[in-house]
Structure 1
Amino acid sequence: MTDFTADERGPAHCAGTGSFRTRVGRSRCAADPKRYLWVLGLIAPCCALLPSQLVLHTDATVFWWIGPIIMLIVIPVLDWVIGDDGRNPREEDYELLSNDRYYRWCTYLFLPIQLTGLFIAGAMWAGDELSLVDKLGLAATLGFVSGIGINAAHELGHRVEHLERWLAKIALAQSGYGHFFVEHNRGHHVRVATPEDSASGRLGESLWEFLPRSISGGFRSAIALERERLARRELGWWSVHNHILQAWSMSLALFGTLVALFGWAVLPWLVLQAVIGFGLLETVNYVEHYGLLRVRKSNGNYARCSPRDSWNSDRLVTNIFLFHLQRHSDHHANPGRRYQTLRGSTQAPQLPAGYATMIVLAAIPPLWRAVMNERVLAHYGGDISLANIQPRKRRKYLA
């Protein structure tokens, strides 16, 4: 019995027969019926390109806020209307999907669109045409693009290919969160769903308590992990091989270029969009493992991460928008799997909605607790002691 099962209904087939190219195209489409939907994931960085044109043609200044509107309103509504994906790739199609470079280009193209939007925004922040509220809306939109850009970096950073790992660092430049490259792979994936992991939310811990703990804890962990790695190679902190310094230098170069082009007036807006970006990332971290705790073995070590240690959702629209991030259990079990091959798990606890909706709920702690605490309790069969509980609330919950 396996944790992850393929859809027994089999994939839908694309129409068309005839030439070799047509047959290959049909084979690829049969392996992944969502194949041509993945390009829609580029809507996220395009949000940074759209506001000026939409406002120009409609005079509706609300479009400066198009990033939050799409992420927090449009996608949750579409998730509710369209519903779940419900289909897993077949094991026999794994190699075909993994080696298909089309999927890589869907993430590669994220970067030039993302950076082009940032330069356009820099010019608008530096000018006098926009009101303060409009500039705030543009910063919020760029912040959401920055946060979703971290998700693209997350996909690229797990790859062994040298190019993709460098692209991951470039994607992190806009958010200034380059240490994520180290902490996520070598920290979070090792300690996930344990009290030792700063990026795993605890039962009874609000998002607003979690954010400072996760941001500071992830920073300290990344520094320690990279210092240890360099020491094993007999290298000092200021080595050119330091992954954190490499990533941070890209942020400095990017922000420095924007300041040189548009003046110091853009710096506060760059900082604001970066804070919104990594705040969005950390909010997703909170959602992904809230209250979940890995089993501890008799020798004191934690058991290997299982599908039961991540909250999953299979809402189709958010799956496309976030490159299957919601199939999080398979990602932790098999971090080398590319996004197009990730599978839903029958054993993973399920969220009542997609990640986009859950981000909204997480921002309202009483609503979040009302929805999620009972689900954590049900996941552990009523035994709350099996959950990852906020220490200062442990006595209250166990009582």
Structure 2
Amino acid sequence: MDIFLDSLQFYAPIFNNLILLLGVEYFNNGYFLGFFMQCVAKKIDEILPLDDKNMNKEEQNRKKNHFLYTIPLFLAIISDTFQMFYVINKVTNSSSQLSGLNCFLLISSAGLTLGNTINISHELIHRLTTLEQAAGFLNFVRVMYCHYPIFHLLSHHKYVGTEKDPIVAKKDETLYQYLPRQLWGNYVVSWKCENERLIQQEKTSLPQFHYKNRMIYNTLLQLAFPLLILTIYRRKGLYYYLWMVFVAVLEAEIVEYLEHYGLFVTKDNKVSYDCAWNCPQRYTNMSSFKLERHADHHVNAYKEYQISSFEYSWPQLPESYLFMMQVSMKPQLWFSIMNPRLESFFAQKEVPKEHQEFEKKKLDNFYKQQLLTHSIILLISFLF
């Protein structure tokens, strides 16, 4: 019974889908979910107790591989797939009462939940069963991100924390410098990893043309879903779908930026708990299937999310991933918060109290600005 009750928290992504549906159906508004995720979620994180407790060995053994923790993963993907078609149908329907602004805001908000399912696929490709891995991969097809498993498993996990890992953002590298090289670079790295695999396993001199090259099929598969959308909803639906996917992939890449910012920590490819930033905010962890316990994921890549661990001694962000994504979009604020934390980490010292007070003041002011900005957007979305 305790496992059933514990697993209920991980239906939070479906709750997010319901918020979007509520806003559209009852208020004819496309920004309910966007406002919730940008502003309200932080307050929920502040109200709920921190997710900083770890299981003992007995609890881990009971909850490991338990199907009640796998069901929310599958249902979140299914729910979001229905939401994708619902949203595209809504914004392309000639009888829809949504304004052009609300259509744009609705698609953008739906892109945020779609981005979260990239994280769910990430969890599933690390599982050991064929069904789970297949479900994760098929969801990548939906977001035109089929190359992700190759570069993630063959490059990122292999080289995390080293100069060879292209995902680790360099100190003082802005998000806007990082994103262009990542959005294209991940695809290039995937080809490189697959070519190296085939050269080693198949002894071929032309791996890029080999029939076992998964990147050939993945590249073609990435066209499958947009062709389906084009067939059903014509060009207008395709444009909305592509924007939704762009928002989702952008969200995933911003998370990659903040997960490992500046943490070049190993020289011998030995992964340690120092390779990723972590945080214990509960609601964000519920929504992301404990993605914020990212250091433990790298050390124990095949450990299921429900039994992952957290320690305050590991690199720690001052706020949740969801909120720090917004902070990262303002480079000077991001650097003023993160660089002193990075320096304290490398000096093996606690973050000074003065800096923690400085952070709190800066982040509180930033949140007030965000709340005002998104409240104005929400108000405008009701008026137009």
Question: Above 0.5 in TM-score?
Answer: yes
**What is the deviation of 1:232?**
3.8
Distance 1:99 1:306 in 2: 24
> Are residue 304 (structure 1) and residue 270 (structure 2) matched?
yes
> Secondary structure in 2 aligned to 1:308?
coil
**What is the deviation of 1:277?**
0.7
Distance 2:163 2:16 in 1: 33
**What is the deviation of 1:382?**
8.0
Equivalence for 2:118: 150
The amino acid across from 1:282 in the alignment is: E
> Are residue 206 (structure 1) and residue 174 (structure 2) matched?
yes
The amino acid across from 2:278 in the alignment is: N
**What is the deviation of 1:346?**
3.8
Equivalence for 2:47: 81
Equivalence for 1:14: none
Q: Do the aligned partners of 2:168 and 2:264 also contact (CA within 8 Å) in 1?
A: no
**Change beyond 3 A, Cα 1:273–1:327:** same
**What is the deviation of 1:182?**
0.9
**Change beyond 3 A, Cα 1:340–1:164:** same
> Secondary structure in 2 aligned to 1:305?
coil
Equivalence for 2:352: none
**What is the deviation of 1:205?**
0.7
**Change beyond 3 A, Cα 1:43–1:56:** closer
The amino acid across from 1:155 in the alignment is: E
Correspondence for 1:41 among 13, 29, 34: 13
Q: Do the aligned partners of 1:67 and 1:140 also contact (CA within 8 Å) in 2?
A: no
Distance 1:42 1:241 in 2: 37
Equivalence for 1:283: 254
Structure 1: tracts of 5 or more residues without a match: 1-24, 297-301, 384-399
The amino acid across from 1:230 in the alignment is: L
Equivalence for 1:4: none
Distance 1:55 1:115 in 2: 17
Correspondence for 2:224 among 246, 253, 261: 253
> Secondary structure in 2 aligned to 1:213?
helix
Identical-pair percentage: 24
Residues 232-285 of structure 1 show CA distances to partners (whole Å, capped at 9, x for unaligned) of 443855667544445454443322222111112111111111111111001001
> Secondary structure in 2 aligned to 1:176?
coil
* TM-score between both structures, scaled by the size of structure 1: 0.80
Equivalence for 1:97: 63
The amino acid across from 1:369 in the alignment is: F
The amino acid across from 2:148 in the alignment is: F
**What is the deviation of 1:229?**
2.3
> Are residue 333 (structure 1) and residue 299 (structure 2) matched?
yes
* TM-score between both structures, scaled by the size of structure 2: 0.83
**What is the deviation of 1:101?**
0.4
**Deviation larger for 107-116 or 374-383:** 374-383
Distance 2:319 2:195 in 1: 40
The amino acid across from 1:265 in the alignment is: K
**Change beyond 3 A, Cα 1:202–1:142:** same
**What is the deviation of 1:68?**
2.4
Equivalence for 1:320: 286
**What is the deviation of 1:185?**
1.2
Q: Do the aligned partners of 1:207 and 1:362 also contact (CA within 8 Å) in 2?
A: yes
Distance 1:379 1:320 in 2: 27
**Change beyond 3 A, Cα 1:312–1:165:** same
**What is the deviation of 1:89?**
1.5
Equivalence for 1:111: 77
**Deviation larger for 366-375 or 234-243:** 234-243
> Are residue 223 (structure 1) and residue 196 (structure 2) matched?
no
Equivalence for 2:377: none
**Deviation larger for 249-258 or 87-96:** 249-258
Structure 2: tracts of 5 or more residues without a match: 350-384
The amino acid across from 1:344 in the alignment is: F
The amino acid across from 1:74 in the alignment is: V
**Change beyond 3 A, Cα 1:255–1:45:** farther
Correspondence for 2:151 among 179, 183, 204: 183
> Secondary structure in 2 aligned to 1:307?
coil
**Deviation larger for 118-127 or 99-108:** 118-127
> Secondary structure in 2 aligned to 1:353?
coil
Q: Do the aligned partners of 1:203 and 1:290 also contact (CA within 8 Å) in 2?
A: yes
Residues 289-346 of structure 1 show CA distances to partners (whole Å, capped at 9, x for unaligned) of 11111233xxxxx241111121110111111010010001100000000100100024
> Secondary structure in 2 aligned to 1:309?
coil
Q: Do the aligned partners of 1:307 and 1:347 also contact (CA within 8 Å) in 2?
A: no
Distance 2:39 2:161 in 1: 29
Distance 1:138 1:238 in 2: 41
Equivalence for 1:12: none
Equivalence for 1:359: 325
**Change beyond 3 A, Cα 1:87–1:127:** same
Distance 1:76 1:254 in 2: 33
Q: Do the aligned partners of 2:23 and 2:32 also contact (CA within 8 Å) in 1?
A: no
Q: Do the aligned partners of 1:169 and 1:178 also contact (CA within 8 Å) in 2?
A: yes
Distance 1:125 1:242 in 2: 38
The amino acid across from 1:331 in the alignment is: H
RMSD over aligned Cα atoms: 2.2
Distance 1:116 1:324 in 2: 24
Equivalence for 2:237: 266
Equivalence for 1:374: 340
Equivalence for 1:54: 23
Residues 39-93 of structure 1 show CA distances to partners (whole Å, capped at 9, x for unaligned) of 223234445xx34x5333234x2xx123322322121121122241121121222
Distance 1:311 1:151 in 2: 16
**Change beyond 3 A, Cα 1:247–1:164:** farther
Distance 1:111 1:294 in 2: 34
**Deviation larger for 153-162 or 35-44:** 35-44
